[in-house]
Structure 1
Amino acid sequence: MRFFASGLEFFCRMPNTDFDRLAETLGFEKIESADGSVRVRAFARDEFLNGVGIAHGGFLFSLADYAAALAVNTGDVTAVSSNSAINYLRPCPRGAEVWASARVPFRNEKTAVCDVSLHSPDGGDVYAIFQSRFIVKK
């Protein structure tokens, strides 16, 4: 008897939902979206700071990951990330309003790639760049 499905089998059985408990808990807000792109914002609240008083890398990574997932999962597409990388470019200060601008430069029936920039609302300060690869559900 088999109790555990492979990752791919589990993924293929997953329902598609826009509800993300972590995003809700962290206060992420979708500002605008179109097919293959999205903008999400959040605030670097005190509880999201690291030991030196700047936004924790995990907070920024989570924001970018959420924006990428929203951008890829537009239309009839359902996908999950298989690999992600982030490059932190400058400290994100306490209380900063952080925007995640995500766009999908490549998507086919099996895979997708999403690029995300984490920046101030005016784009003047870029805190990090992020890229994620996705497996697309058939």
Structure 2
Amino acid sequence: MTPKERATRAAEAMWSGDGASQWLGMTLVSVDEGTAVMTMTVAKHHCNGHGMCHGGITFSLADSCFAFACNSRNQATVAQNNMITYTAPAQLGDTLTATAQEVSLTGRSGIYDVRVSNQDGKTVAEMRGLSRAIKGQLFTE
């Protein structure tokens, strides 16, 4: 099995049980070993009292994308720590794209950077995620 095939099968297994990402309106665009891309269109129920996308929603998109990237090797992996910086507000109707990229993987610990941008390519947030592999796999190999 190629790394791309493994990442795709792991993502399919995760997506089937990922009610949160689906409920929020996210779409998994692509996945490969150590990388993932997800999108979401900002709807009214994603907006805060200022009329812009709630930071927790932006964080959720980044976190979900991070999860697909760090589970792409079919090793059950969870977030150990995440830090996000918001650089611009996302607005109602914006299409947000999260792109996760593995920076480092050593033993059971990984580091991932996730960029969230709008449809114009403007960065709205940057997240650094630290992952930790746990027991188990997403599918039997």
TM-score normalised according to structure 2 size: 0.82
Pairing 1:1-138 to 2, within 5 Å after superposition: 17-18=14-15, 19-123=17-121, 125-138=122-135
In the alignment, structure 1 segments of 5+ residues that lack a partner are: 1-15
Moved over 6 A (4+): none
1: CA distance between counterparts of 2:120 and 2:114?
15
Q: Considering only aligned residues, what root-mean-square deviation do their CA atoms show, in Å?
A: 1.3
Counting matched residue pairs gives 122
| Residue-by-residue CA offset, 1:44-76 (whole Å, 9 max, x unaligned) | 100000001000000000000000000010022
Higher helix fraction (1 or 2): 2
What is the aligned-residue identity percentage? 26
In the alignment, structure 2 segments of 5+ residues that lack a partner are: 1-12, 136-141
Is the partner of 1:54 in helix, strand or coil? coil
CA contact (8 A) 2:94 2:119 kept: no
For 1:11, the equivalent position in structure 2 comes to none
How far did 1:122 drift?
4.7
CA contact (8 A) 2:88 2:123 kept: yes
CA contact (8 A) 2:113 2:126 kept: yes
Q: Give the number of the structure whose alpha-carbon radius of gyration is greater.
A: 1
TM-score normalised according to structure 1 size: 0.83
